[in-house]
Amino acid sequence: MQEIKDYINLEENNFLSLFIEPKMIINSTYLTDNEELYLKKITNENRKQEFIQIRALRNKTIGEIEIDYNEDGKPFLVDSNEFISISHSQNFVGILKASFDVGLDIEEINERISKIKNRFLNEEELKLFGSSIENLTIAWTLKEALFKLNTRSGIDFRKELLIEEKTDFGYNCKMFDFDGWRIVKLKTQRKGNLIISYNFEESILL
């Protein structure tokens, strides 16, 4: 497993903060009353641990601000003007916080991604990323970050979440949302075996 002794803390222009740490067993942490009630409804032990650790990571980075979920399952900070996105991989958890709506995805490089590439990449994207396992993992995290940023349900990954080109900063992407097509600029980083993708500025309506 990739070794990260403490959490990754990346900041961009004081508008965006990213925190990632390895999964660990945490028996308890500060939870709001609503979070305590939500935790009691979770029966899967792995999901329960992720729920607790995300809030433990929150407590030591962005403060004891309640995390709730909207009707589509998207997390948000209660009584706050800031936005968050949460992601889990097999061995890591992460939180992205910003002054604008954000989407974060983290994924460890694994050969299994090559078996499903045709499900989430269109023909042009397959040409862009090729057959490299690392590149396909990057593509998956980009699509997932776009999915988390989007406010619609029933999204077609191949037709409505588009990776258009690689750039100096990352990737230019486009997604179809309720109000139409939006341009999204995404950054991608690799830390050991972990791929991290997120939008670093607000999406723009075409």
What confidence tens digit (pLDDT) does each residue in 68-121 have? 999 889 999 999 999 999 999 999 999 999 999 999 999 999 999 999 999 999
Does one domain contain both 12 and 78? yes
CA dist 158 and 49 (Å) reads 32
Q: Is residue 15 part of a domain?
A: yes
Q: Is residue 2 part of a domain?
A: no
Residue range of the domain that includes 57: 8-104
pLDDT means over runs of 10, the chain (206 residues): 51 80 94 98 96 96 96 94 97 95 97 97 98 98 98 95 96 97 96 94 96
For helices 45-61 and 33-41, the axis angle rounded to 10 degrees is 160
Does one domain contain both 149 and 70? no
Q: What is the DSSP letter of 45?
A: H
Predicted local confidence at residue 159, as pLDDT? 98
Tokens of 164: 């258009």
Does one domain contain both 138 and 99? no
Distance set, CA 112 to CA 2, 107, 162 (Å): 18, 12, 22
Predicted local confidence at residue 15, as pLDDT? 81
Q: In this structure, what CATH number is given to the domain that contains residue 68?
A: 3.90.470.20
Which of these three, 76, 104, 132, is where a domain ends?
Answer: 104
Q: What is the residue-wise DSSP string for 130-186?
A: TT-HHHHHHHHHHHHHHHHH---SS--HHHHEEEEEE-SSSEEEEEEETTEEEEEEE
- Structure pTM? 0.94
Predicted local confidence at residue 72, as pLDDT? 87
